[in-house]
Structure 1
Amino acid sequence: MFIMRIGGFISSAIVAVLLGVSSPAMAADAPAVGASEAYVVDSAGTIHFGKRETRRVPVASLVKIMTAYVVLREASLSDTITITATDVKYAARGGAATAGLKKGERLTTRDLLYALMLPSGADAANALARHYGPGKTAFIAKMNRTAQAMGLADTRYTNPDGMPTPAKGGYSTAVDQVKLAQRALASDTFTAVVGSKVHKVTKTALHRAHTWRNTNKLLGRADGVLGVKTGYTNAAGYCLLFAGERNGQRIVGVLLGDRNERRFGTAEQLLDYAGEQSALS
Structure 2
Amino acid sequence: MQNGGFRLIICATLAALAPLATGLATPAHAQQDARQLFRNVARQDAPAVAARAAYLVDTTTGTVRFSKRATQRLPVASLTKVMTAYVVLREAELDDVVTVNSSDVRHATANGATTAALRAGERLTVRDLLYGAMLPSGADATHALARVYGPGDSRFVAKMNAAARSLGLTGTRYGNPDGLPKPSPGYSTAQDQAKLTETALGDPVLLAIASTARYTVPASKVHRAHVWTNSNKLLGKSAGAVGLKTGYTRAAGYCLSFAADRDGHRIVGVILGESNADRRFQTAGRLLNWAGEQPTSDV
> TM-score, structure 2 length as denominator?
0.85
Structure 2 CA distance for aligned equivalents of residues 255 and 39 of structure 1: 7
Comparing 267-276 with 206-215, which one deviates more in the overlay? Answer: 267-276
Structure 2 CA distance for aligned equivalents of residues 172 and 126 of structure 1: 20
Which amino acid is 2:146 matched to? A
Partner of residue 185 from structure 1, selected from 183, 201, 204 = 201
Identity percentage of aligned residues: 55
The reply to whether residue 120 of structure 1 matches residue 120 of structure 2 is: no
Paired residue for 2:51?
35
TM superposition shift of 1:218: 0.8
1:166-191 Cα shifts (integer Å, max 9, x gaps):
4x540000010001111111100000
Structure 1 segment 37-186 matched on structure 2, within 5 A: 37-43=53-59, 44-166=61-183, 168-186=184-202
TM superposition shift of 1:226: 0.5
Which amino acid is 1:254 matched to? V
Cα 1:207–1:26, aligned 2, differ >3 Å: closer, same or farther?
Answer: same
Structure 1 CA distance for aligned equivalents of residues 13 and 143 of structure 2: 58
Structure 1 CA distance for aligned equivalents of residues 254 and 270 of structure 2: 11
Paired residue for 1:3?
none
TM superposition shift of 1:223: 1.3
Which amino acid is 1:182 matched to? E
Paired residue for 2:247?
231
Cα 1:208–1:15, aligned 2, differ >3 Å: closer, same or farther?
Answer: closer
Paired residue for 1:268?
285
Paired residue for 2:18?
none
The answer to whether the 8 Å contact 1:198/1:213 transfers is: yes
Say what the alpha-carbon RMSD is for the aligned residues: 2.2
Higher helix content, 1 or 2 = 2
The answer to whether the 8 Å contact 2:63/2:297 transfers is: no
The answer to whether the 8 Å contact 2:77/2:185 transfers is: no
1:25-67 Cα shifts (integer Å, max 9, x gaps):
9979211111110000012110000000100000000000000
The reply to whether residue 201 of structure 1 matches residue 217 of structure 2 is: yes
Runs of 4+ off more than 6 Å: 14-17, 25-28
Cα 1:187–1:11, aligned 2, differ >3 Å: closer, same or farther?
Answer: closer
The answer to whether the 8 Å contact 1:156/1:170 transfers is: yes
TM superposition shift of 1:74: 2.2
TM superposition shift of 1:247: 2.1
Query: Which runs of no fewer than 5 residues in structure 1 stay unpaired?
Result: 1-5, 18-22
Query: Which runs of no fewer than 5 residues in structure 2 stay unpaired?
Result: 15-36
Cα 1:15–1:82, aligned 2, differ >3 Å: closer, same or farther?
Answer: closer
Structure 1 CA distance for aligned equivalents of residues 9 and 211 of structure 2: 42
The answer to whether the 8 Å contact 2:239/2:262 transfers is: no
Comparing 53-62 with 25-34, which one deviates more in the overlay? Answer: 25-34
Residue 58 of structure 1 aligns to a residue in which SS?
coil
Paired residue for 2:24?
none
Paired residue for 1:216?
232
Partner of residue 272 from structure 2, selected from 240, 247, 256 = 256
Structure 1 CA distance for aligned equivalents of residues 228 and 260 of structure 2: 22
1:183-211 Cα shifts (integer Å, max 9, x gaps):
11110000000101000000000100000
Q: How many residues align?
A: 268
TM superposition shift of 1:280: 6.2
Which amino acid is 1:29 matched to? D
The answer to whether the 8 Å contact 1:247/1:279 transfers is: no
TM superposition shift of 1:75: 1.3
Paired residue for 1:20?
none
Cα 1:178–1:80, aligned 2, differ >3 Å: closer, same or farther?
Answer: same
Structure 1 CA distance for aligned equivalents of residues 70 and 8 of structure 2: 34
Residue 148 of structure 1 aligns to a residue in which SS?
helix
Residue 34 of structure 1 aligns to a residue in which SS?
coil
